[in-house]
Amino acid sequence: MTTPLFLARRRIYFTALGLLLAAGVALCIWSAGQRVTPPVLGDYHLYQCDTGGAAGSPVFKLQLVTSVRAREIAERLCAAPSVQRIYRGVQVSWKPRALLTAEEILSEEYDLIWSRSHSMAGLVPEYGDYYEPLLHYDHYRVYWYSRGGAPQLTADYFHGKRVGLLNDKLSHTLYLLPLASLKEAGVNFSEENLRYFDDAVSLYQAFARDELDLVSGGDYVRTDLDIPLSRTLISGDANAATLFVRKTRAGATDCAVAEAFDGLADAYLRGRRVFAGAEHCVP
């Protein structure tokens, strides 16, 4: 069997070779394709440590507003003998506080919640039936921050300035206190350039990019942003936070929990123990 003469052309020969190579490459690529078995990802807003307690015992759960020191607090609790006796582990969550739901309060999902009383009441008005305060943090200082000269609390100063606020009507630092400050200065909200953000990170990034002239915030703003700033105190005695604990808790751990948070009460937060028997804690 001989091939027809017209097939013996060079062009056809090299075309056939090319097609053969292409088919080989296609087969190679097709056969080498792989799929990955779905990876199981953990929750990266949670940290859990083991106390070494009995296997069937519950886990002590905390809901904090910041990831800073969250894992350190969990570790301290895991190391506390009074916690080890009752709980097999300690789990700390630093999901955004806006994600805390009424259901979680009603079902007492968390043994400890870092929040403020008005936030709690906003979710569940009778939250006091389930939770009571353990620690108050006051003397929390909130400032106006500006990239230029120190902010002045007058209507003239604010006029024409781009002011960033958080779109969260329960936020002390980024909504309630700055609005109160503007009102006190006699600023007409409707006339001024108030910009609302869905989250604090976007707010501060916009400020860092010079898209805002003024933002409010605690002492942390200076360390987090790391740019030259001027500031003016809005309130030196804001209620930064309250730690709420379940009313039906095992009271034996109160002292250990309060101690675990001691480190947090550094230069700009003052913790005040408000639970029954606080005076009996071993210093």
Partner 1 sequence: MPTCGGGVFLPGLNTVFPDGMRSAPNPRVLLLAWGTLSLLLCSLAGWQVQRSLSLDLTRQLNQQLPDKLALALQTRLSDEPLRQWLVNRLEQDLQTLNAEGGLPLVHSCSARVTQLMEDGHAPMAGAAARSINIAWNIGSEPRATSLMLECHYNWPVLLLSQSLLALLLVIIASRLPYPLSKPQRARIARLIAMGLPASRARRLASQLCDAQIAWFVRALSLNGGDCDAALVAAHAQQQLVLDTASQQVQIHGVAIKLAKTPFFYYLWYAQLRQQGEGWLLNPPVNRPDRAGAESLIALMETHGGHAKSINDLREHGLRAKKLDQNRNKIRDELVSALGEELASAYLFESERDLKSGRYRYRLSLAAGQINVL
Q: How far is CA 196 from the centre of its chain?
A: 18
Q: How far is the CB of 267 from partner 1 (least distance, A)?
A: 17
Binding mask 143-182 for partner 1 (x = CB under 8 A): ----------------------------------------
Longest dimension (CA), the chain: 107
Which range binds partner 1 by CB under 8 A, 21-29, 128-136, 156-164, 239-247?
Answer: 21-29
Report helix, strand or coil for 1. coil
Which range binds partner 1 by CB under 8 A, 5-13, 128-136, 149-157, 227-235?
Answer: 5-13
Are 189 and 239 in contact, with CB atoms under 8 Å apart? Answer: no
Q: How far is the CB of 279 from partner 1 (least distance, A)?
A: 33
Q: Please count the residues of the chain.
A: 283
Which range binds partner 1 by CB under 8 A, 169-177, 191-199, 239-247, 265-273?
Answer: 191-199
Alpha-carbon distances, residue 166 vs 69, 75, 110, 141 (angstroms): 24, 32, 26, 18
Assess 56 for contact with partner 1 (CB under 8 A).
no
Nearest to partner 1 of 65, 187 (CB atom)? 65
Name 92's Cβ contacts closer than 8 Å, sequence gap at least 6.
46, 47, 48, 61, 62, 64, 70, 71, 73, 74
Assess 142 for contact with partner 1 (CB under 8 A).
no
Q: How far is the CB of 25 from partner 1 (least distance, A)?
A: 6
Q: How far is CA 172 from the centre of its chain?
A: 15
Q: Give the C-alpha separation, 15 to 32, whole Å.
A: 25
Residue list 224-283, contact with partner 1 (CB under 8 A): 224-225
Q: Give the C-alpha separation, 241 to 68, whole Å.
A: 15
Total binding residues for partner 1 by CB under 8 A?
57
Q: How far apart are the first and last CA of the chain?
A: 102
Binding mask 26-55 for partner 1 (x = CB under 8 A): -xxxxxxxxxxxxxxxxxxx-x--------
Binding residues (CB under 8 A) for partner 1: these are 2-3, 5, 7-10, 12-14, 16-17, 20-21, 24-25, 27-45, 47, 65-68, 70-71, 94-96, 99, 197-202, 204-205, 220, 224-225
